[in-house]
Amino acid sequence: MESVHPHARRRLLARLADARAVDLVVVGGGATGLGCALDAAARGHSVLLVEARDFAAGTSSRSTKLIHGGVRYLAQGRIGLVREALRERGRLLRNAPALVHPLRFVVPARNLAERLLLRLGLGAYDALAGRDGLGGCTLLDAAGLHAALPGLREEGLGGGVAFRDAQFDDAGLALALARTASAHGALLLNHCAAHELVVEDGRLRGVVVREAEGGQAHHVAARAVINATGVWGDTLRRRADPAARALLRPSQGVHLVVDADCLPGSDALLVPRTPDGRVLFMIPWCGKVLIGTTDTPRADTPAEPEPLAGEVDELLAAAARWLRRPPAREAVRSVFVGLRPLLGEDGGDGASSRLSREHRVEVSAQGLVSVLGGKWTTYRAMAEQAVDAAEVVGGLARRASPTASLALDCGVCAGEAGEADLPGAPPGLPPGVLPGAAAVRRALREDFALSVEDVLARRSRALFLDAAAAAAVAPAVADLLAAELGWSAQRRAAELATFRALAARYGTRSRTTASSPPSG
């Protein structure tokens, strides 16, 4: 695999300049796009993937950090979706064990009847997993509930049910896909945009890509192009066909990261239905607790979505209904927002929480293969179907996908990232919140990082775990990047200012809220 040390980045760009024609171009470097690149490269096709920002910079690094079948979708009767997701969960636990691991969830209940009903539903959920099940579910009495979640309010509760699902590092898994695809020969370029789709005689023949650093454009012919741009999928579809009807209805999920003392222990809390019909999670994550998630429709798709008016307060109030020591606003270390590409055609109505997390592979009249909808858990199945379609569109040799049992290169995991020795680091942070200098250099040399944000948001999760701490070490990270990448003093100052502004938005989101998005 080629790294992105400055000399390696030049080699990658040289490969791009030489790549006059490839079998397949993938547009989009999130979970689905990276999955498509790996699937196609592992089949033996030549692949170019381009991502305008960084790998997983959008939705794919802003999830609730769960690989799961979706308990609420079982309640909605979407058995096929749940069964497929549970099968993919099992594959990820086997193929990326350093990044995906079982996590026990506890669902509180008011009385024995409610416990038995939960046991029935969660038992069916585990049964759908078949041999990929994680150990069934357990009835908890009041004492068992308190032992599992000692921070929980006990008033009105008579026990609960415990079951297992899986947790993961979303940005880490995206990088594992990138490493593995690169090792199979795919050319992957972050900070390199699909500037233009080349349509000749009504058929899509390739793309013009533009690299962010130097701005140079490259025309690459392709036998097939896959649109894996997630929540922005309709935008690219309309670049191929301006008359294309929108098929996505974006929804956003807001997540708060707080100190772990509000919910001590290693178990997660799941409330399947809040008074407004949403799901509430409180999940241990990297020495913190992740509280989420809202599910709010929005008509726009900004690169950096922010909470809508009242969403942070709603989550804090929801947490306060369940916790004996609920977090106050000043305990919120970071707030991040992810957009979800839900399927729902123009003119649809109803709550986004009822829209499907299923996916669709569409082939346009021009030959653009678009992967729409879906979720992290099913990225591999989505990619397999998209590459199957691309083989037909491009007249490529039909080959079976090997990815169901393909081990992923998980690299160095967060817990092994070394000492957090960067100047400016606040004292008393849990291990793994901030990277060390060696981890920063590794991110640049081996893991495609090219900016302060790349390092502190996705090669480490500092921005998501503690925005103020990330801002505190940003000057030291900028110094390392400047030395490694040959930045001028002006470039270093600009990069640092950009990241500090971003970190301030993640941090101050806990104290202020954005207005509602435009409606059209």
| For range 29-48, the mean pLDDT | 98
Report the pLDDT value the prediction gives residue 75, as an integer from 0 to 100.
Answer: 73
Report the pLDDT value the prediction gives residue 421, as an integer from 0 to 100.
Answer: 87
Report the pLDDT value the prediction gives residue 3, as an integer from 0 to 100.
Answer: 53
Q: What is the pLDDT of residues 259-298, one digit of tens each?
A: 999 999 999 999 988 877 778 999 999 999 999 987 888 8
* pLDDT of 127 above 60: yes
Q: Which two tokens stand for residue 356?
A: 């499907």
Rounded to the nearest integer, the mean pLDDT of the chain is: 91
CA distance 153 to 462: 30
Report the pLDDT value the prediction gives residue 74, as an integer from 0 to 100.
Answer: 78
Report the pLDDT value the prediction gives residue 356, as an integer from 0 to 100.
Answer: 56
The residues near 369 (Cβ < 8 Å, ≥ 6 apart) are: 224, 225, 226, 227, 361, 362, 363, 386, 389, 390, 393
Residue 512 pLDDT level (bands cut at 50, 70, 90): very low
Distances (CA, A) of 318 to 155, 291, 497, 506: 15, 9, 35, 21
CA distance 70 to 395: 36
Q: What is the pLDDT of residues 129-184, one digit of tens each?
A: 999 999 889 999 999 999 999 999 988 899 999 999 999 999 999 999 999 999 99
Nearest 5 degrees, angle CA 308-CA 314-CA 315?
Answer: 100
For residue 152, the Cα-to-chain-centroid distance in whole angstroms is 29
Q: Which two tokens stand for residue 477?
A: 């990270």
Q: What is the pLDDT of residues 384-426, one digit of tens each?
A: 999 999 999 999 999 999 999 999 999 875 445 556 789 999 9
Report the pLDDT value the prediction gives residue 6, as an integer from 0 to 100.
Answer: 62
Q: What is the pLDDT of residues 296-317, one digit of tens each?
A: 888 899 999 999 888 899 999 9
* Domains of the chain and CATH, by start: 6-59+172-247+350-405 (3.50.50.60), 102-167+249-343 (3.30.9.10), 414-508 (1.10.8.870)
Q: What string of DSSP letters covers 109-131?
A: ESSHHHHHHHHHHHHHHHHHTGG
Q: Nearest Cα to 23, choosing from 35, 40, 42?
A: 40
Q: Residue 313: helix, strand or coil by DSSP?
A: helix
CA distance 101 to 217: 42
* pLDDT of 355 above 80: no
Q: What percent of the chain stands above pLDDT 90?
A: 78
Residue 293, preceding peptide bond in cis (omega within 30° of 0): yes
Q: Which two tokens stand for residue 273?
A: 């239905």
* pLDDT of 46 above 60: yes
| For range 320-340, the mean pLDDT | 94
CA distance 460 to 443: 9
